[in-house]
Amino acid sequence: MILKIENLSKNFGKLKAVNQINLQIEQGSVFGLLGPNGSGKTTTLGMLLGVTNPSSGSFSWFGQGDSPKVRKNIGAILEQPVFYPYMTGAQNLDIVCKIKEVPKSRVEQVLEQVNLLDRKDDLFSAYSLGMKQRLAIASALLCDPKVLVLDEPTNGLDPQGIAEIRQIITDIADSGKSIILASHLLDEVQKVCSHFCVLQKGNLIYQGKVEDDFSTSTSIEVASDNNQQLMSVLKSMPHVKEVIENEKTLLVKGDSSLNSLQVNKHLTAQGIVVSHLTTISKSLEERFLEILAESK
């Protein structure tokens, strides 16, 4: 386990920005922290990273509690990339090396990794937003961290920049590192995360695996000229959990091994000709809205 959070809370005056959060994050997972603007994502990460003092509760990294020494093994960016603007990219990373007590030789390696080596001697203030984000990720990678904490790393980037950063994140995840990713972009979490939780107004309202919510269940929409007959045939089909009748179509819910080809074959064998057949891939967005609606 890389992180265990117990009853963590933060109040700003009357406002409960983070309210009694409990969470455990396993080694090797890519954990998405989802929530609308102002739901407490940055505040939570700020507490985990030692800059915001918790009002109550506790947390522990790698089972070793919370200390600056532990933080030297974490690579993290909070909100926007933060560097000294009057220094070059390489000089900035040197400072981080000194703070984290890692050898200077890492600088070139991580710059290579984020594809910034040829601009290392330019001033940070002269970098584009995308380059700043990449430098921030390079900086987070300096200590060869066991876990990477990223707070909206694609914020403000253009589609190409977003794709680049996501590729870097996916590569890092594939290399076996754990990642904690805060975002309000749902497809981002869906694309890169294995687990996620949802925060709303400081409360943790949902937590689960991304695949539980998507790949383990399949929804297929079917229609024919006789929906009553269709219904009874589908209900007896293997792997089908539930059939829901809509106005003109039937929604078939089954486990992950169910697919539209099977359904089509089965129905043809029963002598039923379908007029409509589509796989509905439920997006995290729907699930997210569902979760938010349920919590009200």
Partner 1 sequence: MIRLLKIELAKLWPANYFRILLMLWLVAFITIPFASNSFLEWMASNKMMSQNPMFNPSQWPIFDFADLWQNLAYIYKMISIFMSFIIIISVTNEFDYKTVRQNVIDGFSKKEFWLSKISLIVCFSLLSAVLLFILGLIIGYSMFPIFKIELLFTNIEFVFAYFFQVFYLLMFAFVLSILIKRAGIVIAIMVFWIYIIEPMLSGIIASSLVDWPLVADSLPMEAGWNLIHLPFKKYIMMKTQDFISLQDVVTAGVWFVFFFLSSYLLLTKRDL
Task: Summarize as ranges the residues that interact with Mg ion (CB under 5 A).
Answer: 42
- At closest approach, how far in Å is the CB of 134 from ligand ATP? 20
Residues found near ligand ATP in the complex (CB under 6 A): 12, 15, 17, 35, 37-43, 184
Which CB sits closer to partner 1, 84 or 167?
84
Which CB sits closer to partner 1, 71 or 177?
71
Report the distance separating Cα 213 and Cα 253, nearest Å. Answer: 13
CA distances from 162 to 83, 112, 133, 220, 294 (A): 21, 19, 10, 31, 31
- At closest approach, how far in Å is the CB of 33 from Mg ion? 10
Which CB sits closer to Mg ion, 150 or 284?
150
Instruction: Print the binding letters for residues 243-262 with partner 1: x by CB under 8 A, - otherwise.
Output: --------------------
For 171, residues 6+ apart whose C-beta sits below 8 A from its C-beta are none
Report the distance separating Cα 251 and Cα 276, nearest Å. Answer: 11
Report the distance separating Cα 110 and Cα 93, nearest Å. Answer: 9
Binding to partner 1 (CB under 8 A) within 131-150 occurs at 139
Residue 221's H or E segment, with its range, is strand 217-223
- At closest approach, how far in Å is the CB of 184 from ligand ATP? 5
- At closest approach, how far in Å is the CB of 215 from ligand ATP? 27
Residue 38 binds to partner 1 (criterion: CB under 8 A): no
Residue 69 binds to partner 1 (criterion: CB under 8 A): yes
Binding to partner 1 (CB under 8 A) within 180-219 occurs at none
* Binding residue for partner 1, selected from 41, 71, 106, 287, defined by CB under 8 A: 71
Report the distance separating Cα 7 and Cα 5, nearest Å. Answer: 7
Residue 11 binds to partner 1 (criterion: CB under 8 A): no
Size of residue set near partner 1 by CB under 8 A: 30
**Residue 79's Cα: distance from chain center in Å?**
15
The option from partner 1, ligand ATP, Mg ion, none interacting with 86 (CB < 5 to 8 A, set by class) reads partner 1
Residue 15 binds to partner 1 (criterion: CB under 8 A): no
* Binding residue for partner 1, selected from 21, 25, 78, 116, defined by CB under 8 A: 78
* Binding residue for partner 1, selected from 14, 37, 68, 294, defined by CB under 8 A: 68
How long, in residues, is the chain?
296
Which residue, 26, 18, 32, 44, is CA-closest to 284?
Answer: 32
Contact 58, 241 (CB under 8 A): no
Residue 52 binds to partner 1 (criterion: CB under 8 A): yes
Report the distance separating Cα 234 and Cα 118, nearest Å. Answer: 60
Query: Strands 217-223, 276-280: parallel, antiparallel or unpaired by DSSP?
Result: antiparallel
Amino acid letter at 129? L
Residue 293's H or E segment, with its range, is helix 284-294
Query: Strands 195-200, 30-34: parallel, antiparallel or unpaired by DSSP?
Result: parallel
Q: Which residues pair with 59 in a beta bridge?
A: 5
Which CB sits closer to ligand ATP, 43 or 133?
43
Residue 83 binds to partner 1 (criterion: CB under 8 A): yes
> Which residues contribute to the site for partner 1 (CB under 8 A)?
46, 49-53, 67-69, 71-72, 76-78, 82-88, 91, 94-96, 98-101, 139
